[in-house]
Structure formats: C-alpha cells, structure tokens
C-alpha cells in the first residue's frame, strides 16, 4: 500500500471504465482468472479460457489503434494462437501482437519477488513486428531488472515454461513427502534426509521441506492442465508421471489424518485442534489448502474439531468445509477460535498444518507442563522438532 501511495496519480491510475482504458493503452496485460473447467471436454483438468476469450473480444471490440496484448495468466500452450484469432477476426482494422509474460510471484512475497526476480520471461513471435513488441516490453522491465535476467523466447516456450515451473516445484514437494513415508517405516529422519539431499548443489534445498502437502490456487490446477495437455497429444506415460505428483499429495494428506485417527485412545474426548488454515504462512488464501482435506477426514471419522488461523476468517473456514464435506457436516461439530490459547484450552490433540511464526514461537514447554503431559501434538510442518523432540506425545512427519 505504501508503494501505491507514492505513485498513485503520477504513473499509476485506477479505473473501472474498461473500454476507455483499452482505447488509451498501447500495451494491455491480460491477468484474468483461468479456473479448471467444470463441464464439457476436459472437465476437472483443462483450463477454462472463457474469461480470457471474453477479454480478447472486449479488446477487439473497442480498439482503434494497434495494440500489444500480453498474457499474464497461466495458460495452456498455444492459447496465444486462440487470442490472436479472436482479435483479428473481430477487428480487422487493427494490428495485434500477442506476448506471453507469465508471472512467477509468490503469495506473501509478491512485491519482493517483483523487485528481485530470478528471471523475467517474455515470449513473442519471430516476425519483425513480434520482436518489436518483445523489445517494447523488455524496455519496461529493464528499468529495474538487469538485462541478463530478462529471457526472451517464442510464445509457446513461454506459455509452457510457467506450467513446467509450477509442476517441477510441486514435484519436489511430493518427492520429499513420499520419502517421509519411507522414513516413518524405517526410522530415518526426514529433516536429516532433506538436509543431506539439499546440500548437493545439483539439487539444492528449496522446496524440500516435509509438509501435509501443497495447496494454493496454482499447483494442482496447473499440473492437471499439464496432464490434460499430455493426454491431448497422446503422451499417456508423461501424463501419468505428472498425475502421480497430485496422487502423492493426496496420499500425504490422508496419511497424516489417518495417523491422528489411529492413535486416538479409547475413552478420549476426541477433540482435535487444527492450527493453520491458509495453504501457507503470510497469506489468508485457503484455496486447496491441505488443512481443508485433513479436517474433512477427521470430521468424517466423527471427531470434534477446533480451528485457529491468524488470518483466515471464520466465514471462509466454514465455507471451505461446507464445500468438501458430505451432508453429515454440521457447524456445531466445528468451533473456530480467535487465539491459539483459546483453542488449546478446548482440545486433547492438536495438529499444526501451517507454519505460522506464531505457532513456532508459542511457549509449548510451558503449555505441556500445565497440561501434565497429556496433550498430543502432531507437527505437520516439523517446526517444533528442536523444542519438542523429546516429548513422548510429539509426532512429526
């Protein structure tokens, strides 16, 4: 917000007059939602491009001068071809150049990522006009991004690179989570395994942190999109390879919830606390969060849940549960709390599913002492190993 205040009214302007903005602009960024299709061919896997297509038609309808149209949304390969077809068929008096410029920003660190980008990717046609459009966008980014970090490719490479990037990151999460299951059976330590693997410079340590599984609006959607793309081109073995990343993610969620259910003792009140609802720390985004699916499994087993997240609202949490639970879900079986202490005063077991700093820095030793060592703690993020590894009722992945 501070950054916006400095430039608003100078070179940053907000408007809800879309048509006028299109007419006045030389370059237009398309950053609209691309959800997974819910009906028709590709249902449940392919990207729904209705918002992209609608935006393209609107641009074509009102444009009076030549435009550079930039894809920012994560899109299937060759979407630019479809956009160009819509634009040129509906407005033959204007030249449109299509660029692919996917964003690689992460929720919670978007501004920092923008200023310190690993790379900026720009895909365009090899024609003279296509390269002029590419250079126009390069000139904008080069104001703060070193030129060697601006990568230019053809459009299709740029579109596929974004899908591939998210798929590779998700694959690393599923890979280390699959190893955590082996560690549980063999007595190996997941943290030590992660460190040993990550110290190999060919691999690196990033995204090798054991977790309840990946979430958010991108990874699963983009992998399913990639799987559908592979199937479309008859690459069934490749499709199955990437689909396995999602299967392992779902397996990890179920493995954690099954562990909690199996270890509950007869006669316990069966009140379980969930700490963390956002798919990761420093955001209130709960889309596809592993917490939702772990909670569903616990509710389906008849457990009473108590939930706390420092940023996700009660309304959002209950809505998430209502969307995934069957008809047995009742609000009275789930209580949303306003603090970690309030939650802990009402449960017999607690599972940590988001790595909020608040959970890391809580005085767990004092709390356990006050509870006379009766509370069970399931650490789905392995954030309390150093503090609680010697506590007999502490379980980590």
Boundary residue ending a domain (153, 186, 209): 153
Q: Are residues 170 and 28 in the same domain?
A: no
Q: Are residues 190 and 127 in the same domain?
A: no
pLDDT tens-digit map of 274-317: 999 999 999 999 999 999 999 999 998 889 999 999 999 999 99
Average pLDDT over residues 96-123: 91
Q: Is the pLDDT of residue 265 over 70?
A: no
Q: Are residues 239 and 380 in the same domain?
A: yes
Does 267 or 136 have the greater pLDDT score? 136
Boundary residue ending a domain (125, 153, 181): 153
Q: Are residues 201 and 107 in the same domain?
A: no
Q: Are residues 144 and 257 in the same domain?
A: no
Choice among 37, 159, 183, 218 that is catalytic: 218
pLDDT for 213 equals 98
For the ranges 120-129, 196-205, 249-258, 317-326, the lowest mean pLDDT is seen at 317-326
Q: Are residues 234 and 356 in the same domain?
A: yes
Q: Is residue 159 part of a domain?
A: no
* CATH number (domain holding residue 247): 3.40.50.720
Choice among 103, 191, 314, 358 that is catalytic: 103
Q: Is residue 160 part of a domain?
A: no
Q: Are residues 129 and 206 in the same domain?
A: no
Q: Is the pLDDT of residue 212 over 70?
A: yes
Q: Are residues 179 and 236 in the same domain?
A: yes
Q: Is the pLDDT of residue 268 over 70?
A: no
Structural domain including 229 reads 165-397
Q: Are residues 307 and 341 in the same domain?
A: yes
Q: Is residue 158 part of a domain?
A: no
Number of domains, the chain: 2
Choice among 67, 97, 159, 162 that is catalytic: 162
Q: Are residues 277 and 190 in the same domain?
A: yes
Q: Is residue 173 part of a domain?
A: yes
pLDDT tens-digit map of 43-64: 999 999 999 999 999 999 999 9
Edge-to-edge strands of the sheet including 349-352? 334-336, 304-308, 271-275, 349-352, 376-379, 394-396
Q: Please say if 103 is a catalytic residue.
A: yes
Q: Please say if 162 is a catalytic residue.
A: yes
Q: Are residues 80 and 190 in the same domain?
A: no
Residue-averaged pLDDT of the chain: 93
Residues in Cβ contact with 20 at an 8 Å cutoff, skipping those fewer than 6 apart: none
Question: pTM higher than 0.75 for the full model?
Answer: yes
With tokens 């955001």, the residue in question is 283
Boundary residue ending a domain (133, 153, 173): 153
């Amino acid at each position: 917000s501070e950054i916006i205040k400095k430039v608003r009214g100078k070179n940053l302007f907000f408007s809800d007059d879309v048509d006028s903005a299109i007419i006045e602009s030389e370059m237009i960024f398309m950053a609209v939602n691309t959800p997974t299709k819910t009906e028709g061919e590709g249902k449940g896997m392919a990207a729904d491009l209705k918002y992209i297509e609608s935006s393209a038609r609107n641009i074509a309808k009102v444009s009076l001068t030549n435009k550079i149209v930039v894809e920012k949304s994560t899109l299937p390969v060759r979407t630019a071809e479809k956009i160009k077809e819509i634009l040129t068929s509906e407005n033959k008096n204007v030249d449109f150049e299509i660029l692919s410029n996917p964003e690689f920003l992460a929720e919670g660190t978007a501004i920092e990522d923008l200023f310190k980008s690993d790379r900026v990717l720009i895909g365009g046609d090899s024609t003279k006009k296509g390269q002029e459009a590419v250079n126009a966008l390069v000139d904008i980014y080069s104001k703060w991004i070193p030129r060697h970090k601006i990568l230019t490719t053809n459009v299709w490479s740029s579109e596929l690179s974004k899908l591939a990037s998210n798929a590779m990151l998700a694959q690393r999460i599923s890979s280390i989570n699959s190893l955590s299951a082996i560690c549980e059976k063999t007595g190996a330590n997941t943290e030590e395994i992660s460190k040993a693997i990550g110290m190999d410079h060919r691999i690196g340590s990033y995204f090798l942190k054991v977790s309840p599984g990946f979430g958010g609006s991108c990874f699963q959607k983009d992998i399913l999109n990639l799987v559908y793309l592979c199937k479309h081109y008859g690459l069934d073995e490749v499709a199955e390879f990437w689909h396995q990343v999602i299967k392992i993610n779902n397996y990890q969620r179920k493995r954690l919830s099954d562990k909690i259910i199996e270890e509950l003792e007869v006669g316990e009140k069966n009140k379980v606390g969930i700490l963390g609802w956002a798919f990761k720390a420093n955001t209130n985004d709960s889309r596809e969060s592993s917490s939702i699916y772990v909670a569903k499994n616990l509710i389906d087993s008849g457990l009473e849940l108590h939930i706390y997240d420092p940023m996700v609202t009660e309304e959002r949490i209950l809505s998430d549960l209502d969307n995934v639970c069957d008809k047995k879900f009742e609000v009275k079986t789930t209580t949303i709390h306003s603090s970690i202490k309030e939650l802990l005063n009402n449960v017999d077991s607690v599972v940590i599913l988001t790595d909020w700093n608040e959970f890391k820095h809580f005085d767990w030793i004092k709390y356990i002492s006050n509870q006379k060592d009766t509370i069970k703690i399931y650490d789905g993020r392995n954030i309390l190993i150093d503090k609680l590894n010697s506590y007999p009722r502490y379980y980590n992945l």
